Chains A and B, each alone.
Chain A
């Protein structure tokens, strides 16, 4: 018993500072075989009113094309400071985008949502292709998208 209490204290001591900063979350976005060029994908968080809160990741290199990720573009106003250091290559048909990032603890279980906007050249744009509420219970449970997204899932570390 004493031993167990000691272990608990140790765990709390290690995890406490982490709780203060946020939690590591891994977002896994799997795309369908939509059969087109690489998809531009914006992964972002919205608040309880559906308003843009922050950018998690933008896949796709040509900023000229970002306006097609319409919900994200509108919320972030496409300001470089919003996505600086959070961009990478576009995601091919049938491929999976995995992003691990730190999410402030206050955002979890507080009505915040994760949204994915997608766009492909010469094909349609999908605002809120997939979205899922950011809750402790919802972790690890994939949701389906309505556009190019096959499934969206997040795992709390």
Chain B
């Protein structure tokens, strides 16, 4: 709901919001520029009488004096038949220059407040201000929900570069944008008389004037009593009209002054509504508050970037969410299917289930688990299909499910069934599915079916569960699932280096390129096809021949390196690792990229501690290779034997020499020393502690056993700092890529 509230106005008004923000940013320079070009005396130094006295010599034809909010003094005068306006120095009364409001500024101002379309445009600009207000507030709420509450607002934002940029800019500009939108909406409302602006004080014109001979302008008591900084506008009496008066507008009110006596004939103070309106006006325009104007202008410049990233984020999310035919609304559906998926394979199963239920005449609502609705009015059952991420954690589309479930209405309970997806080889097989199953049961929801699991995307397991489900709800369900084959790119093996054969750990570093171009275009285009985009730490999914089930490997290179590099250990009986190890130069694979933006060094200069074992070195070597800024990077790595499986040995030596790598700590389990990577961490604990104190980030890649050993060792090492891995993980400083 909140998300729709954010994306809908964002999409509708993106372009208008950008126009108004950019024009506002340009206008924000004006008060500062005007302020830079004018001298402002301190309060109490110059009175209005002093100024008019000085001007009597330099501008005998003065008709009107205006003090701009910046402090600039403008004199409007006539000289014979000629009229003009000059900016003058308030001390000397000398001309500084002609007062010529730039026509560019005027154009931008009209664009900003009316899109150059007069009344209709002003209304549109007002609506944009309100939409901007909605966007700012809903965006802040979304970010707070994403980061886990208002107290966590300053935590690092995770996600794709676009999501991070959107969130970080939004967070930085939040207050300024809120102020601009709020004051803009207010000003628009006063333009259309929806809110009283409090009209400027305008006393009645005096019926009687003294009619005596005019006194010199420097001697009028009312002018002597008014400080120049309080002046807004002074209009002289019309030439040679003894019945006319001076009209004086100041910070506090307006009045008329007799030419002869120099006393106020009438005075009216501004209403409090008017003073409030003036305050809002200055807050919005930065007039008289040039520094605030510059801050607001700078913040407004974030808007075009946020509009572009926002639309991209929306588009990606839309594309990632599989389309379902006949997907009912949450309140209309009899069956609700919620999906927790990390890499979209679970969505395929959900689609099969959805279609089968529709075919039986059911009304079905299918959505990601994160979109748990506030209620399902007609629902008779809830089916949850979810994978597990890492060590029992929620997959991407279910990351906020348990928190949302906590806020779900207590009274609502319908039968539910959870189906977990995963691989039995992992210790936390379907850990998250178990957690969800228990959470629902703990809330008192009845189980329609006991928790069931699907091992390695087994179509048989799924069909069996479908039978049980059909029996439980009295429908004949046949769930025939054929996994959709992901869209892949063909890559060609161009280089391989083999390690570890002597220590029963055959491991290969494989380098692929896009295949050479064929046909007539090959001569004048680049020689090879383009690689898909990727960075070290991203994953490549590889489909072994005859299988639609991808195996994922961490990438050691970036697309701009011109090749795709992975490190593969051959597993006994492994279908994909066996296939990859059997590849010869020139052979091809079918592969696709799965971005993993969370697993890479955070921006900045803080040290990075890289920990891995065996083939897990691949992304870590990629990070070191791309450490162009030469930030401190320390690699802790474990292998079997320095003679046989010291992966990347020569490259790492080179990186140490050119300081891309600061420290290399290799442990070998079959060498005379017999140590594991966690032993190296413990031995080096003083240094590790020191780096973590300096804000170091830790990136771990390798097998599960190594990862849990490393966690245990590190928890002991940093205990004395009052820290633990869970805390570092919350701060985004501890990240794992574990298989």
- A residues touching B (Cβ–Cβ < 8 Å)? 35-37, 50, 64, 67, 70-71, 73-74, 77-78, 122-128, 146-147
Contact = CB atoms under 8 A, between A and B. Distances in A.
B101 A125 contact: no
A103 B82 CA distance: 31
B106 A37 contact: yes
Interface stretch (B196-204, B499-507, B528-536): B196-204
A45 B149 CA distance: 69
A123 B235 contact: no
Contacts of A126: 83
B64 interface: yes
B78 A146 contact: yes
Nearest to B238: A127
Nearest to A90: B118
A147 B83 contact: yes
Contacts of A70: 235, 238, 247
6 tightest A-B CB contacts, nearest first: A124-B76, A74-B205, A122-B101, A124-B85, A146-B83, A35-B103
A94 to B, nearest CB: 13
A147 B200 CA distance: 25
B271 interface: no
A144 B626 CA distance: 74
Given A77-B205, A125-B64, A71 B238 contact: yes
Given A37-B106, A70-B247, A123 B85 contact: yes
B64 A124 contact: yes
> Of A36, A73, A127, which is in contact with the most chain B CB atoms at under 10 Å from its CB?
A127
A50 B63 CA distance: 18
Nearest to A66: B202
B241 interface: yes
Nearest to B245: A74
A122 B27 CA distance: 15
A50 B241 contact: yes
Nearest to B202: A67
Given A37-B106, A37-B110, A146-B83, 10 more contacts: A36-B106, A50-B241, A70-B238, A74-B244, A77-B205, A123-B101, A124-B63, A124-B64, A126-B83, A147-B83
Contact of B199 (A50, A64, A124, A127): A64
Contacts of A37: 106, 110
A13 to B, nearest CB: 45
Interface in B206-260: 235, 238, 241, 244, 247
B81 interface: yes
Nearest to A64: B199
Contacts of A128: 238
Contacts of B110: 37
B103 A64 contact: no
Contacts of B103: 35
Interface in B65-83: 76, 78, 81-83
A35 B101 CA distance: 9
A117 to B, nearest CB: 10
10 contacts: A64-B199, A70-B235, A70-B238, A74-B244, A124-B76, A124-B85, A126-B83, A127-B238, A128-B238, A146-B78
Contact of B83 (A35, A78, A122, A124): A124
Interface in B90-123: 101, 103, 106, 110
Nearest to A147: B83
B294 to A, nearest CB: 21
Contacts of B78: 146
Nearest to A124: B76
Contacts of A35: 103
A59 B415 CA distance: 72
B81 to A, nearest CB: 6
A125 B247 CA distance: 13
Contacts of B199: 64
A64 B200 contact: yes
Contacts of A64: 199-200
A130 to B, nearest CB: 11
> Of B78, B110, B205, B235, which is in contact with the most chain A CB atoms at under 10 Å from its CB?
B205
A38 to B, nearest CB: 9
A125 B235 contact: yes
A126 B63 CA distance: 9
A35 B107 CA distance: 11
Given A124-B83, A125-B76, A77 B204 contact: yes
A20 B101 CA distance: 50
A90 to B, nearest CB: 10
A146 B76 CA distance: 13
A70 B106 CA distance: 24
Nearest to B240: A50
Contacts of A67: 200, 202
A74 B238 CA distance: 11
Nearest to A78: B202
A123 B241 CA distance: 24
A4 B202 CA distance: 60
Contacts of B205: 73-74, 77
